[in-house]
Amino acid sequence: MCGIVGYTGDKKAIDIVVDGLRRLEYRGYDSAGVALTNGEGKPLLVEKRAGKLGNLESALDSRFGSSHSGIGHTRWATHGGPTDSNAHPHLSDDGKLAVIHNGIIENYVELKKELLAKGHAFSSETDTESVAHLLGDAFKENGGDLAEAMRMVCKRLRGSFTLLAVHSDDPKRIVGARRNSPLVVGVGKGENFLASDVAAFISSTKSAMELGQDQVVIVTPSDVTVTDLDGKKVEAKSYEITWDAAAAERGGFQHFMLKEIFEQPKAIADTLLGRIEESGKVSLPELESMADALATDVDRILILACGTAFHAGLIGKYAIEAWAGIACDVELASEFRYRRPVLDPRTLVVTISQSGETMDTLMALRHAKSLGAKALSICNTHGSTIPRESDAVIYTHGGPEIAVASTKALLTQVIALHLFALYLGQVSQGTSGKPSSASSKNSRSTLSASEAKKIGSELLGLPSKVEQVLETVEALREMTRGFKDATSVLFLGRHVGFPSALEGALKLKELAYMHAEGFAGGELKHGPIALIENGTPVIAIMPPLGSEIREKMASNIQEVKARGAHVIVIADTATDIPATDFAIRVPATDELLQPILSIVPLQVFAYEMALVRGNDVDQPRNLAKSVTVE
Ligand code: F6R
């Protein structure tokens, strides 16, 4: 959940480290700190402050400008509140070694006890400080080898961690390690970078290296070496970052979230690019190795994800069942991993994650794999842990999502699920273009060629339809302001509109800090209707013309109106709606694709409500973007 940056090269390290922290601030923003080396044997330059990065920046003096190597941290507190002393870096007793950490050291209590008995003094309540003392001791014991010290210490740690350390005796070297927590290397010319995510160094280099579990990386300005915990060299996988550096900037928008809402047409188009032909045939070469299995050996799909990604899964379920004829269940990753689920090799587990690092999802994936399931992931972040541990991955091409509240990631996840559902239908019919045993048609009920073609062309038309929805943003924002003082907002939907309603409520909770709930229309009279009071805002998503539940939703709208609700209806332009207080019109599309259009106004509603209530839109309280702890 924290953001970590390391730089070693010939530039002014403080500028690069602080700039990297700014780009990673979405990961955690309750305190920040830096430790820079200052020439061999000279004391480290260390500063750390509670609060936003700006507090740290104002505490930095001119001394920090002389360094060319150092580490920086932006924190989301787990152990110990957000105070100056709990902020990272943490130092060894002699102050010569500094370490920063993302994750949780589960055995820190016993380590701390041992260190206290040895006479170490602690100045924070964090789990990380134990690591600083352990590293300091190991460094002395092994005659000054920071990498070896890191390997020795990592073997003693339980839990999840990314660690970066520097030592004043070896000022150009940064040593990092990772277990169940992200760390990427940025490879430059005469300079190298380490960070939780490529956004930190994307404006300096597009060459990156992935690190595996329990690997230690040693960077100097001219070299990157990766070893396992026994010191054996390992070949790290290199890759080019395709994200545009400008994508990680606000680019004239007031907030990243607004920018990302407006990037959705492009994000969808990029995710569809080259993957769907005019005939409706889907091309997903990344699934080729599983195509046979998907055609004949899979009879159940289980989607596991958290938060907004879970809602993407709930929406995708409808397409998988309708277009591919395969049973599909969707479960919260955090719940799944503590059950004893009945899974077998005929279950395909699909994890969905923007970051690819969400701990609950990762642990659920491991749990499913240990029970024999095959695993596919849908992910936005190249080389992250979840896709690395899956049998196959469909990458969404949403580009960096910086705002904590997920927007374009959700729409691209849904698009990826739509592509997957069409692909599953194709392989079942032997029309995937893969001539093998996969061509043996099974008994699943799938789409006809003409239906698939129609859906394919609808999918390809979605980017311009989202553009049309975005043209209504100003009116939407104005309407939203009228509800500034509402105490509760309810969202109603049926069928795919139900998970869309859940997403609308989640966005509002996390951004506007308001009570919000999403309901299935059919459930209203089983309890939730009691919440309706005079003036309660209810946002209802109307199923499209021709849907068998259109009339039912119209009745639900009447029911809440009759009890005094202020109703805002989202409906497509072809559909009649009952008289309402406000109508949001979106272009018409296939019923199963409608969430792509109807969720956009819900995002705008939550954005504007946060703004008008004076909240921090991009960094809402108590949250962090990438939840790498359980
Ligand atoms: C909500 C939000 C979160 C994430 C969830 C999963 O706006 O962003 O609910 O969707 O934490 O994150 P990923 O997709 O990175 O696994």
CATH of the domain at 11: 3.60.20.10
List, for residues 382-411, the tens digit of each pLDDT value.
888 999 999 999 999 999 998 999 999 999
pLDDT at 76: 83
Residue in 26, 627, 629, 630 to alter for ligand 1 test, most ligand atoms within 8 A of Cβ: 627
Answer yes or no: is the C-beta of 505 below 6 A from any ligand 1 atom: no
Are 443 and 564 part of one and the same domain?
no
pLDDT at 178: 95
- Let me know if residue 630 belongs to a domain: no
pTM of the full structure: 0.84
- Let me know if residue 58 belongs to a domain: yes
Residue 116, CA atoms < 13 Å, CB-side half-sphere:
9
pLDDT at 344: 82
pLDDT at 443: 66
pLDDT at 61: 94
341 close to 381: Cβ distance less than 8 angstroms: no
- Let me know if residue 467 belongs to a domain: no
Cα dist from 503 to 122, 301, 444, 461, whole Å: 44, 22, 31, 23
Using CA positions, which residue lies closest to atom 10 of ligand 1?
308
Spans of the chain below 70 pLDDT: 430-443
Q: Is 454 annotated in the active site?
A: no
Answer yes or no: is the C-beta of 380 below 6 A from any ligand 1 atom: no
How far apart are the CA of 427 and the centre of ligand 1, in A?
A: 30
CATH number for the domain that contains residue 402: 3.40.50.10490
Answer yes or no: is the C-beta of 354 below 6 A from any ligand 1 atom: yes
- Let me know if residue 60 belongs to a domain: yes
294: Cβ–Cβ under 8 A, 6 or more apart, which residues?
287, 348, 423, 424, 427, 428, 438
- Host H or E run for residue 399: none
Are 523 and 554 part of one and the same domain?
yes
Are 455 and 509 part of one and the same domain?
no
pLDDT at 435: 39
Answer yes or no: is the C-beta of 629 below 6 A from any ligand 1 atom: no
The domain in which residue 155 lies consists of 3-247
Residue type, 315: I
Are 242 and 260 part of one and the same domain?
no
Residue type, 311: H
Cα dist from 435 to 21, 362, 438, 439, 450, whole Å: 50, 34, 7, 6, 22
Atom of ligand 1 minimally distant from the CA of 308: 10
How far apart are the CA of 302 and the centre of ligand 1, in A?
A: 18
Exactly one of 206, 281, 317, 625 is catalytic; which is it?
A: 625
pLDDT at 415: 98
Using CA positions, which residue lies closest to atom 9 of ligand 1?
307
Are 395 and 496 part of one and the same domain?
no
- Host H or E run for residue 164: strand 159-167
pLDDT at 439: 42
Q: Is 2 annotated in the active site?
A: yes
Are 268 and 132 part of one and the same domain?
no
List, for residues 81-109, the tens digit of each pLDDT value.
889 999 999 999 999 999 999 998 999 99
Residue in 332, 380, 406 to alter for ligand 1 test, most ligand atoms within 8 A of Cβ: 406
Q: How far apart are CA 308 and CA 413, in angstroms?
A: 10
Using CA positions, which residue lies closest to atom 3 of ligand 1?
307
Split into its structural domains, the chain has a count of: 3
Using CA positions, which residue lies closest to atom 8 of ligand 1?
406
How far apart are the CA of 131 and the centre of ligand 1, in A?
A: 29
- Long-range interactions of 47-53: CB distance < 8 A, separation 24+: 48/73, 48/84, 48/87, 48/88, 48/89, 49/84, 49/87, 50/82, 50/83, 50/84, 50/86, 50/87, 51/82, 52/25, 53/18, 53/21, 53/22, 53/25, 53/29
List, for residues 491-522, the tens digit of each pLDDT value.
999 999 999 999 999 999 999 999 999 999 99
- Let me know if residue 465 belongs to a domain: no
Answer yes or no: is the C-beta of 589 below 6 A from any ligand 1 atom: no
